[in-house]
Amino acid sequence: MVTTLTSPSTPTWENVFSTASGAVYQCDAENCWYIDFAGKVAGFNYRCLQKLKKAIYHIDIEAKLLDTSKDPDVEIIFICACDHTYILTLLQVIALKELLQGTFVMLELNSILHDKLYRTAC
């Protein structure tokens, strides 16, 4: 399940979740996550990842799909105090949301495993 990417210059990244359009890795050494999506790999600490989740989850995809105005269907995801900005089409928003949802499920699973295996093991 877990693929590990290692190269001499970078600390170990563990794959948290991947889809056809991207992947999320966790770096234990740096306490952060790397998101490989829309042609770039961007690092997010805990706060920024939470902000990204909130920004993406709050986009009303259905309303945007039904929107018949001529505005381009492009979303600018700007996260305060975070170095990265995403400019995404609606399809990319859907793909990123799917990637994040899977990621948070896997992080939750990881938390459960920690609880069961280490924290309450006796």
Partner 1 sequence: MKDLIRIKSLLSTEVEELLNQQVKKEAMSSSIYLAMASWCNRNGFDYSSEYFFKQAEEERQHQLKFYKYILDMGGNAISPDVTGIKQEYNSFREVFEDALDQEISVTQSIKKIYARCLSEQDYITNEFLNWFLKEQREEEYKARRALELFEVIGEEGTGHWEIDRHVGKIKYESDAS
Binding residues for partner 1, per CB under 8 A? 2, 14, 16, 26, 28, 31-33, 46-47, 50, 53-54, 107, 110-111, 114
- According to DSSP H, which parts of the chain are helical? 46-57, 61-66, 90-114
The amino acid occupying position 93 is: V
Give the Cα separation of 6 and 13 in Å (integer): 7
Shortest distance (Å) from residue 121 CB to partner 1: 14
10 Å CB burial of residue 35 (0-12, 13-18, 19+) is buried
| C-beta closer to partner 1: residue 33 or 86 | 33
**In 3-state terms, the chain is what percent helix, strand and coil (to 5)?**
40, 35, 25
C-beta of 85 vs 111, nearer to partner 1:
111
With H, G, I as helix, E, B as strand and everything else as coil, classify residue 70: coil
Cβ proximity to partner 1: between 66 and 80 the closer is 80
Minimum CB separation of residue 74 from partner 1 in Å reads 27
Minimum gap (Å) between residue 18 Cβ and partner 1: 15
Least distance to partner 1, CB of residue 28, Å: 5
Closer Cβ to partner 1, 46 or 65, answer by number: 46
